[in-house]
Structure 1
Amino acid sequence: ADKLVDGVDFGNLCNDFECVSSPSVESTARQLARDILELREGNRALGTYAIQVKYKDPVRSFVGREKYKRPLWVTDALDKPSVTVQEMVMLSTSVLNIKWTVKGEARLFIGDLIINVNSRFTLNQISGQVIEHEEQWDLSSSPAIAQAYFWASRRLFAVTQTGKDISDGLKNFTARIEVGRENPEIYPDPSDPTKFFERDDGFRDAYQIALFLAVIYFVVQFLKATL
């Protein structure tokens, strides 16, 4: 896979309009292609993504590169999946488009599932990191029953991942509260240099809790509307 990617002249990835970008973008483009070809999960190069990268596909969206560490849908849903890359195009100096296909036998369906994927990456030209990642899927090469399996399993996967998002968010929120309790902020009283007082953060904590619960409520309502 690496030989295939490294054997491509970066200039050949560009279209007729733009063919100029930074060395960092070129390096990221090659790394993204490797990750796709090898279906890398926990060992993918997270450094190619910005910390607050935005991801979106037809059934799920999230923010944060840490979520790229999680298992891929394809490795759980398909037996012996294989990947081929058809096209890598720089649509501009900061937008990379990769067209690729994944094939495999659905584990709950006797037959092959063929997914044509269009991955679009928006890159920071200075750092080369991905700041936005959007995917579109074309299942027209698969039979109807395979398409039904795909959408059902993808939606179930999205719900599971959203549940993990909420769980991780709750854990992080609880951890921050515990740290705050163990290390209360102390401020000097400007009217008396020898006197100190604690800032009352009760209102701020209550606001954060209410905000977090509101986010959970809207996530639940969104899932009800889309499932």
Structure 2
Amino acid sequence: MTTSSFLFPASPPSAALLRRCFFRGSWLSSKIHHRLPRVVNDSTRTEVSIEKSEADKLVDKIDFGELCNDFECTSSPQVESTARQLVRDILEIREGNRAFACYAVSVRYKDPVRSFTGREKYKRPMWITSGLESPTVTIQEMVMLSTSVLRIKWTLKGKPKSFLAAVSGNLIVKVKSEFTLNQISGQVIEHEESWDLSSSSPIAQAYFWTSRRLFAASESTKDFVDVTKDLTTSLTARKEDNTEIYRDPTDPTKYFQRDDSMERDVYQIALFLAVVYFVVQFLKNTL
């Protein structure tokens, strides 16, 4: 080694050499990067699957018919919406939280021991929860008989709330519910039920009919009380509104009131007829 080479450093690398080293390092880095295995955290991936309810599965099988053709519409999508809600109410044995909007204000209900008119009565407790212990419901059939008539066949099962439960066994009631729907609004305008107790023991059947008639009699009493209150309120309001006082033309200091005894007689007769009607209904349900 010479003195000059020791005292003076080697010449700096050229720009071309630096560029070659830089790009070679970048190329090598990219190769290494691409060769590294790709790690994916699958634990953060969640598959969301919405399971349809039993009510929705039943309604999906229904053929609602052709709602509209080239000339007219025979029904509305509200009919399908009402059908879904009705089967949910039956499956879940809903009482206070049932969908009352599905029923028309003047809906008519009928079964072998009771009949009534009015949506408000659907807000009352049902016999199922008051007469059976841990009741369960299963749906056997749900079909549209026409564009406005829905039929649901379902089975009610539970132990009677009575000392007879030990010997009667489970009460099994096969129910056929038919709903007549308004084709425009989809609301229920008629509701009729029939019962088949052939799968229950004679003791369970006797318990069912006795308790159902007592329940119907109790509901008829509530109906009578409601009608009496409504009639009394209406009579009081009408009396206050129709109070007419006139001045005596012969004596300006005197006043007289129009005689409304005829109107009072009419209301009393109507109240008497209402009492007779509900007494007859009570006897019919209990005898």
Partner of residue 40, structure 1: 94
Question: How far apart are the structure 2 equivalents of 1:84 and 1:217?
Answer: 40
Residues in 2 aligned to 1:218 and 1:180: alpha-carbon distance in whole angstroms: 24
Q: TM-score, normalised by structure 2?
A: 0.69
Code of the residue aligned with 2:173 in structure 1: it is I
**Greater RCO between the two (CA within 8 Å, min separation 6)?**
1
- Between the aligned residues of both structures, percent identity stands at 54
**Contact (CA 8 Å) 2:220, 2:282: kept in 1 or not?**
no
Counterparts of 1:1-227 in structure 2, within 5 Å, are 3-10=53-60, 12-14=61-63, 18=65, 20=67, 21-108=75-162, 109-110=164-165, 111-184=169-242, 202-226=261-285, 227=287
Aligned mates of 1:104, 1:171 — CA distance in 2: 36
CA contact (8 A) 2:113 2:216 kept: yes
Indicate how the Cα distance of structure 1 residues 48 and 225 shifts in structure 2: closer, same or farther if over 3 A, else same: closer
Q: Give secondary structure in 2 for the equivalent of 1:159.
A: helix
Residue 189 of structure 1 corresponds to none
The residue type paired with residue 137 of structure 2 is: V
Contact 1:118 1:136 in 2 (8 A): yes
Query: Considering only CA atoms, is the larger Rg found in Structure 1 or Structure 2?
Result: 2
Deviation at 1:213, TM superposition (A): 1.3
Deviation at 1:176, TM superposition (A): 1.4
CA RMSD of aligned residues (A): 2.4
What is the Cα deviation at residue 180 of structure 1? 2.2
**Distance (Å, rounded) in 1 between the aligned partners of 2:52 and 2:201:** 32
Give the count of matched residue pairs.
216
Contact 2:221 2:278 in 1 (8 A): no
TM-score by length of 1: 0.87
Gaps of 5+ in 1: 187-196
1:216, distance to aligned residue in structure 2 (A): 1.8
Q: Classify the secondary structure of the residue corresponding to 1:13.
A: coil
Distance in 1, Cα, partners of 2:91 & 2:52: 9
1:14 partner amino acid: D
Q: In 1, distance between residues paired with 2:91 and 2:56?
A: 13
What is the distance in 2 between the residues matched to 1:29 and 1:69? 19
Q: Which has the higher strand share?
A: 1
Q: 1:120 to 1:2 in 2, by over 3 A?
A: farther
Q: Which amino acid aligns with 2:109?
A: Y
Change (3 A) 1:225 1:43: closer
- Is contact 1:90-1:97 (8 Å) kept? yes
Counterpart Cα distance in 2 of 1:95 and 1:214 = 35
CA separation of 1:202/1:26 partners in 2, compared to 1, >3 Å: closer, same or farther? Answer: farther
* C-alpha distance after superposition, 1:69-118 (max 9, x if no partner): 00000100000001111111100000000001111000112221011100
